[in-house]
Structure 1
């Protein structure tokens, strides 16, 4: 597709890569007992593309000619596969609909500009023709930010930034790099790493998401404890608007009124098309280590995470799974041969004899980077805190395995879809003082939703990012909907999803920590930032884009669109 790689049209990741449980003997029994899904049930694989009825493009000759002039004939595409690839992100509702061939509105044309001037020409042409323009990066969004409104009658243009994929320059004295917005995470790190640098940003979607997408959704990565989230990393940027370009220099700090940089962060394409950014980069660390720890309970683990966040240690990763997620993680282990398997078995026997409830244990990973002295000192600080809260060190082995497999989890969701299971995530952030109430309240809300549907469901959680004042909790839920039909399945899915999201708001947390708003979370925006705060956002978006040409429908609740 014009030299730009894309994910599967029907699911996550690349063709030929899929999840299998057959080398994980404990997983099928665990899922059958805890989730009520038989992993060995005959599945329904995704349809072939030829089975999908794709609507014809609606673009007229004049706009087509103008866009062709802007990007060149080879980089304007109206074929069915390309347009379908650009219709949905990778959220659970997206995947259910695409597998069912549900395509009420898809882009009429996909354009692949090769530089900022071509982006400007495309934006100007789309607005002049009163078309809808939707920026597209890696297509990994899971909050409904990429799909055209179902009742949109105007021409829909998907602007794919995949050709803007280079690290342009590095200011080594300042630790800054100027990078094009369409670069995928691995390609960017390869280019930086060749010169001895790293950005350190690693969201779960790292392999299939772009710098521009991270900025547009206020992304956070698993190493954000050290490197910061994208709002900390992105220092300057260029953003194309109709007839003009916003150019923000990479200054360390400013006092020049409300931050335009902050306005663009999280704007999801509604404030223009991000073409490049200056980002903070760091020298590749001398050492990088992830160590696994085990706690006797969720309460002890959270207390330890809070103390680590306030300590002199500065880990790159602070993650801890609750008992459910820990049990699930253990169930996905392959058969351990030789000494390692015996060591784990003996250790768990010893802990049980000491009085540990092995059904309540919580697995944690802490990452360290830097020179040997720094890493050694931070491990000492963290180790003391872990022991204070009753935890033990498991060592490098589990940490190394986590580091290798951290980007593979979304493939499990596709596998469950094949056999009729629905699985998704909701993540949030709250102050430390509210974290335990938030955790238990959300578990109750999810269980009440499952009970109302008469289904068996499973919820697990991990703390994924720590801050001075609080942390991010990341919930995963799964269940078998027990009904056929796309709308019936999604209706049941939304009962659970809405219960979880509403619990976040009711318990003093945010509707999203790092997945953005899109259309899936927009319902709760006024409760999250207040009606008056939403007024400010509406005024900003309407002032920039009065014709609603730039990715309309995202960010705002439907009743606040003008």
Structure 2
């Protein structure tokens, strides 16, 4: 048993079964849907039970009903949160509003539009009930949840439709255009950048187009190592279908369980294993996108010199350039061996330097991650109570580090992933071991890596648990060149602390480096503080705004993989230049001059 099997128990554990990696059994598969459809439709007055078969997350938070977080088996977490965020986890969680208390606006969809949509997708796949429309109103950002839990529903979609194929999508887009309505594509609903909710002042009918029925791997070109996949497939279902044929896509974002291929492409997503497999922009070789009156289709060729890349224009367009229906993606044979090893470093600076040298080495890793001392301390605080021999081994390891002169408050935990045949994995681990040793680190073992694999999808549950108890917690991510990472890290920490002081709260901000590239890496920050007023989003905006502004001021990007949406749009011109922002606005206006396709996302033209 690794000494860290109990010393760093990952992040947290939902109450019921484990979340999954692409290579494990999904923890939430088979759990109850966000709503009981028959009961829902009876309550809402729909003509009959919803038959789309698409499961959604709970309307008031992350994940399925019955899946949640609990701190009571983690004895160090409560005192940790009290000390650093001034919130007592033993405080009973505030219950979500009863759904019937929500002031859900009436649907504004005219009958003529409903009839046209019914002809497009089938009457049983057109829904105007309150629950369906609320589920499709917001994503899962902290702002979204605070507004929803407060009953802030000034505008909801007027109708939700579930097409089964591209022809149905084309018919929906054309019907929406003919009715002068607005169309918002919907995948898994996991957006944390505010890119799903309709404009507050939108007077036209709003159609939410849910792609959840379009969830199939259509073909695999084994010679080219490419797969053609419908855009509405969720991460676990995609990997199940590919895995049954011996393949994997290898894309594992934190939202993996509840996000779709089309959503990944539309938001320019990145996954934990991007060191090997690349970001979604690297994996996407071609796609089909429905626009009013036409379909844009690119070819899955390995490279091309055909002017500015239409494929690249569509990746990250967040619904502004149409509805993604199919994607050709790169796939890989399932690896013979897969391991994630844990390491300790005496400081974050040493860990960052090691990640930089690993990226420049001959080792082909799948992931490289190092947490700063604060995130490492949080990981230690979330461990379950140590039992048996493991607790003595953990204490012994810490005693050894102390004798070596390490400051135990500065220890940083790192994970590095390896895949391939046994000889390749062994060789890569040897290269990494030498780099780690050169930077003063030590190998900890496999146990923590297995726990990391199991628990990497848990963070949103912890955020919701804190929100229930009066704490606002969120994440922000950026990327910068290797030479700027540590100055950026220091600047963000400093600006966040200033923001906490302005709000008048005890706040906590922590960070890890991940997604290493040739020229730099991602820094992923998590912050939390106690709500102190009846206007929590005002307080939140002070802190979130300070973090985001610090990114662009220190030479980073406004987002590495959480997209722009509405919540990050104000920093776009500082990131890509005012002229770059104007070019995007002109592109969107050329394709969609009447602003019917998810208006306001990326380039903000609407009230949020």
What's 1:530 paired with?
A: 577
Any idea what the Cα deviations from partners look like across 1:247-290, whole Å, max 9, x if unmatched? Answer: 11111111100000000000000000000100000000000000
The reply on whether 1:114 has 2:160 as its aligned counterpart is no
- 2:232/2:262 contact within 8 Å kept: yes
1:478 aligns with 2:528: yes
- 2: CA distance, partners of 1:341 / 1:293: 18
For the structure 1 residues 430 and 500, does the alpha-carbon distance in structure 2 shift closer, same or farther, using more than 3 Å as the test?
same
Of 253, 258, 265, which residue of structure 1 is paired with 2:303? 253
Q: CA deviation at 1:43?
A: 2.1
Return the match for 2:210 from 160, 185, 188: 160
2:243 to 193, 198, 223: 193
Contact 1:525–1:557 under 8 Å retained in 2: no
Partner of residue 483, structure 2: 433
Alignment of 1:178-217 (within 5 A): 178-217=228-267
Following TM superposition, by how much is the alpha carbon of 1:559 offset from its aligned partner in structure 2, in angstroms?
A: 8.2
Deviation for aligned residue 1:436 = 0.6
Aligned alpha-carbon RMSD (Å): 1.0
The equivalent residue for 1:493 is: 540
Give yes or no for the alignment of 1:8 onto 2:54.
no
- 1:322 matched to 2:372? The reply is yes
SS at match of 1:144: coil
Counterpart Cα distance in 1 of 2:334 and 2:191? 28
The question of 1:169 aligning with 2:219 is answered yes
Please give the per-residue CA displacement for 1:222-241, whole angstroms capped at 9, x wherever unaligned. 00000000000010111001
Aligned residues: 558
Report whether the alignment pairs 1:282 with 2:332: yes
SS at the partner of 1:8? coil
Instruction: State the alpha-carbon separation in 2 of the partners of residues 301 and 88 from structure 1.
Output: 38
Aligned pairs for 1:130-529 within 5 A: 130-484=180-534, 488-529=535-576
Q: With structure 1 as the length reference, what TM-score do the two structures score?
A: 0.98
1:534 positional shift? 1.2
Q: Is the 8 A contact 1:538 1:560 kept in 2?
A: no
For residue 79 of structure 1, what is the aligned residue in structure 2?
129
Deviation per CA, 1:358-402: give whole Å up to 9, x if none. 100100000000000110000000000000000001100111111
Partner-residue secondary structure (3-state), 1:359 = helix
Question: C-alpha distance in 1, partners of 2:163/2:132?
Answer: 15
Q: Which moved more, 1:211-220 or 1:123-132?
A: 123-132
The answer to whether the 8 Å contact 2:599/2:605 transfers is no
- Cα distance between partner residues in 2 of 1:37 and 1:309: 39
Q: Is the 8 A contact 2:249 2:332 kept in 1?
A: yes
- Runs of 4+ residues deviating >4 angstroms: none
Query: Normalising by structure 2, what TM-score?
Result: 0.91
SS in 2 for 1:291: strand
Q: How far apart, in 1, do the equivalents of 2:585 and 2:401 lie?
A: 56
Uncovered stretches (5+) of structure 2, i.e. residues with no partner: 1-49
Question: Which deviates the most, 552-561 or 539-548?
Answer: 552-561
- Residue number in structure 1 paired with 2:75: 25
Distance across 2 between alignment mates of 1:44 and 1:559? 32
DSSP 3-state at the match of 2:527: strand
The aligned counterpart of 2:590 is 543
- Report whether the alignment pairs 1:59 with 2:125: no
1:222 and 1:464 in contact (8 A); partners too:
yes
Q: C-alpha displacement at 1:408, in angstroms?
A: 1.2
Residue-by-residue CA offset, 1:51-102 (whole Å, 9 max, x unaligned) = 2121100011111111111111100000000000000000000000111111
Gaps of 5+ in 1: none
Matched, 1:47 2:80: no
Contact persistence 1:77–1:109 (CA under 8 A): yes
Alpha carbons 2:199, 2:606 under 8 Å: kept: no
Using the alignment, how far apart are the partners of 2:263 and 2:173 within structure 1?
A: 18
Contact conserved, 2:471 with 2:528, CA < 8 A, in 1?
Answer: yes
